[in-house]
Structure 1
Amino acid sequence: MKLWLPNQQLRLTVAEIAPMPQLLHLESLDLTTLIQTGDTVMWGQANAEPLPLTQALMAQRQKIGRFRVMLGIANSPTCTPEHADHVDFIAYCGAGANRQLANAGVLQVMPSHYSELPDLISSGALRIDVLMLQLAPANAEGRYSLSLASEYLLPALDSARLVIAEINAQAPWTYSDRTLGDDDLDAILFTDRAPMENPISRVRESDQRIARHIAGLIENGATLQMGIGAIPDAVLSALGDHRHLGVHSGSLGDGVARLMQSGAITNQRKTVDRGISVGGILMGSCLLHDYAHHNRAIQLRSTRYTHDAHVLERIDKLVAINSAVEVDLSGQVNSEMAAGNYVGAIGGAVDFIRGARRSKGGLPIIALPSTAGGHSRIVMRLNGPVTIARSDAVIVVTEYGVADLRGTTLTQRITKLLDIAHPEHRAALQTQLDNE
């Protein structure tokens, strides 16, 4: 676009007259002139966190005055309970380092379906004043990549008063819904650091047994959605002999990269986004980051797309694999609280479970070990909230087998779930039933 100024007979490009973002310097990083008392600040979750910015924010909190932070999954110790002296923490989950905040009583949990987050942000119901991003360096066209995460950052990008970006020379360039230019940014900080990585999951024998059960349910050509943790990682490791698998998930991990490299994941039979592994965020190691770098076969999308009910129902053979804290004998699922502490989330589990139920040939799977700390995770009554209702009938998998609750009565569900409970707890569960 060109602008003509007749009086001066000058022709200026938009780039020449648009304000350039403020350049920040790491050795003198001062956020107190940018962030105001009462602001709500959000940043990319997990490994997408722009660490130099978030660490400076916490260090300068007293000078800024009281403000709020909206957290996703926290893979770093940036935010600690002592920071609550000037910061109000809210989050959709208790995962990662958020658990420390929750246990200290300084985390306000916002129970929300993941699919609702974009509209909450866009409408202002969840007001985001300042957005902090970690971006990959500009390409030849001067456009930055969102790198490790797109998801709910996109609606925040359009509604925030202030956008501050860390341009990390080592952040992978990934393909997404959009790229950013200098005109999208108010301030930038150039860095050169290795992005955070997810630690390798500790996979137990029970996880491997669960994974083998699930792998036996998955057909060649199915499209996978995986939650986060040891069991989804174990499932991916058990799928090496499958062929023409696809991926449409909230998060993508190392297991996806390995199966794409081996040829097990090709995405060639997907009914939506054929040839592409679709996710919202990369949650893995440098193996995943290197594989996703400038790789068009991996694309990150907004939560509005990855968790959209109409998109999910059009994906044939959608297999949704999510974990839980406990399941009761009627088929209700608690994915949020354990021993009175908020450790999980509603997250995208309900979105994907319902999507898989509507998918032609889809499988809505909840996977969990039969015990935790010596206690049964198949229970008479939930010890926390109902995250997934019994009307959203799922396939429950433990190391002891598979209980398909679809189309079953309450009595049938009791039998099926007792069969996959730990043998040492089945008698006690039956006694509780008999005493009702």
Structure 2
Amino acid sequence: MALAERVRHADFLSRSMTAEQAAQHVAHGATVGLSGFTGAGYPKALPQAIAAHAQSEHKAGRPYRINVWTGASTAPEVDGLLAAADAMAQRLPFNSDAMARKKINAGEIDYIDMHLSHVAQHAWFGFLGRLDVAIIEIVGVTADGLLIPSTAVGNNKTWLEIADKVILEVNTKLPLRLEGMHDIYYGTALPPRRVPISLTHADNRIGEPYLQVDPRKVVAVVETHSGDRDNVFSQPDANSQRIAEYIIDFLAHEMKHGRLPQQMLPIQSGVGNVANAVLAGLLHGPFDNLLGFTEVLQDGMLDLLRAGKMKRASATAISLSRSAYEDFEKNIDFYRERIILRPQEISNHPELVRRLGIIAMNSMIEADIYGNVNSTHLMGSSMMNGIGGSGDFARNGYLSFFVTPSVAKDGKISCIVPMCSHVDHTEHDTQIIVTEQGLADLRGLSPRQRAQAIIDHCAHPDYRPMLQDYFDRARQQGAQHTPHLLGEALSWHQRCLDTGDMRK
């Protein structure tokens, strides 16, 4: 489809140019807000042009690095290319790219890990500094100059509002029939002028289907014709299926005892294979008329919508495998009536998470025996991905599950440890921990009771005696509220670093 058919505003169309020409608007030292959230809706052409420009500048002996802000993760052709070209000085708030991760852990990129609900408001408050350029993927421009959003909203609304300059990437490969799927809320304000957000049900629409931009800011319009990255979700393995079964049985038990309403509360699910396994379990579970209120709509939630088990799903991005995306595009009219895409300052807003009573399910790297959770760091100091939105939902959800297989690396690493090597979610935010071994309901338990429940129900049999021995000896020494052997608390991690195995 020709660009003129997608950009129906003559003034914007007159600013069309190549990605290489548009990249000249991004100077060394600039802070750049990119669209994109978990492999969806990211700019396809500009990051590659910027990376090539950076390499050219470096070859000529001139410095060139930029600060990059996004909604969440992007794709190898964004974070990976910019990192490989040594073009990134700073990155926030979430990254899953291997090359960028390598540079972050080598200290070559300053990475700022943030709760996703904080990013837009901290940017508006001025806490993060000035935003020089916004580069936003859209699928079209109306005759009135309104922007038709892409497969992710993320922080795009905020970047468009606060950036000095805007570059629009019009992706002609993505279907124009996305128009009408989005709900962009413009009712937020800075303190002390804030008012309650008028969302009382997960499937309410409270905004408008378009993004707004000051036309005077738009310095370039670039055509692209490239799809989002393909996510790869493996079929649920036995461990993931067991975790899903424990969660579904628990939810049914809570409903039976009146601690959940008969009409299930809205569901949030983190990203990954375990999360998709839980959604697959719900597909065959006893619950109907489900609602989703989450960050990323993945294959499993699409299956629930298609099967009629879920009525509607609210998210900030659609991130699918290739086969699921083909189904989405083929049946987009069906899905447009059932999917609502919002800015992440709404999808992750603590006010709404608490009001709606969200049931939150997120993955973790490790948990300790008292329920502290590490979801970001390997062995205490090596960044994996970032906290993402898990904290937004864990602290404010009606129920909060953290899930993981009980061991990793062929059993050499226990995901239940005496003390977490890094803490993202404290024991105060953790309600329920689930592994393939079982489920530990930590609500209403003291620290020592929590420890025994986690050891008994969540630890792998190979590590359970070691954990019990540590806990028993800790109770024989010192303070008894949260017993620890400080000289041994992180010895499992040190042993793994020294030998490659946590086992003695």
Asked whether the two chains share a fold, i.e. TM above 0.5, the reply is: yes
1:55 aligns to 2:92 (yes or no):
no
Match in the other structure for 1:35: 26
Residue 179 of structure 1: which of 210, 217, 242 is its match? 210
Q: Hey, what's the Cα distance between the residues in 2 that align with 1:74 and 1:141?
A: 30
Residue 422 of structure 1: which of 442, 460, 465 is its match? 460
1:11-410 aligned at under 5 Å gives the runs 22-25=15-18, 29-45=20-36, 46-61=39-54, 62-63=56-57, 65-71=64-70, 72-78=72-78, 79-80=80-81, 81-84=83-86, 86-97=87-98, 98-126=100-128, 127-138=130-141, 143-172=146-175, 173=178, 174-177=181-184, 178-180=209-211, 183=215, 185-201=218-234, 203-218=236-251, 221-241=264-284, 242-266=287-311, 276-286=312-322, 287-288=324-325, 289-290=328-329, 291-292=331-332, 295-316=336-357, 318-339=358-379, 340-356=381-397, 362-373=398-409, 374=411, 375-384=413-422, 386-410=423-447
Match in the other structure for 1:5: none
Tell me the C-alpha RMSD between the 2 structures. Answer: 2.4
8 Å CA contact 1:41–1:128 kept in 2: the answer is: yes
8 Å CA contact 2:94–2:386 kept in 1: the answer is: yes
C-alpha displacement at 1:156, in angstroms? 1.1
1:137 partner letter: G
C-alpha displacement at 1:142, in angstroms? 6.0
Unaligned runs of 5+ in 1: 1-14, 267-275, 357-361
The C-alpha deviation readout for 1:366-389, integer Å capped at 9, x for no partner, is 0111011121111101112x1111
Q: Hey, what's the Cα distance between the residues in 2 that align with 1:377 and 1:112?
A: 23
The C-alpha deviation readout for 1:274-316, integer Å capped at 9, x for no partner, is xx42111111135344255671321111122112222122214
TM-score, normalization: structure 1?
0.85
1:205 partner letter: A
Q: Hey, what's the Cα distance between the residues in 1 that align with 2:273 and 2:174?
A: 25
C-alpha displacement at 1:329, in angstroms? 0.8
Q: Hey, what's the Cα distance between the residues in 2 that align with 1:105 and 1:424?
A: 36
SS at match of 1:209: helix
Match in the other structure for 1:271: none
8 Å CA contact 1:367–1:397 kept in 2: the answer is: yes
C-alpha displacement at 1:141, in angstroms? 6.3
Unaligned runs of 5+ in 2: 1-8, 58-62, 185-208, 253-262, 475-504
Q: Hey, what's the Cα distance between the residues in 2 that align with 1:304 and 1:221?
A: 24
Task: Give the structure with the larger helix fraction.
Answer: 2
TM-score, normalization: structure 2?
0.74
2:265 partner letter: A
8 Å CA contact 1:42–1:69 kept in 2: the answer is: yes
The C-alpha deviation readout for 1:312-369, integer Å capped at 9, x for no partner, is 22214x210001111111111111101331003222112111221xxxxx32110111
8 Å CA contact 1:249–1:278 kept in 2: the answer is: yes
Aligned length in residues: 402
8 Å CA contact 2:44–2:226 kept in 1: the answer is: no
User: Once structures 1 and 2 are overlaid, which stretch shifts more, 341-350 or 191-200?
Assistant: 191-200
The C-alpha deviation readout for 1:157-200, integer Å capped at 9, x for no partner, is 10011111111112241323151468263311122233322122
Residue identity (%): 26
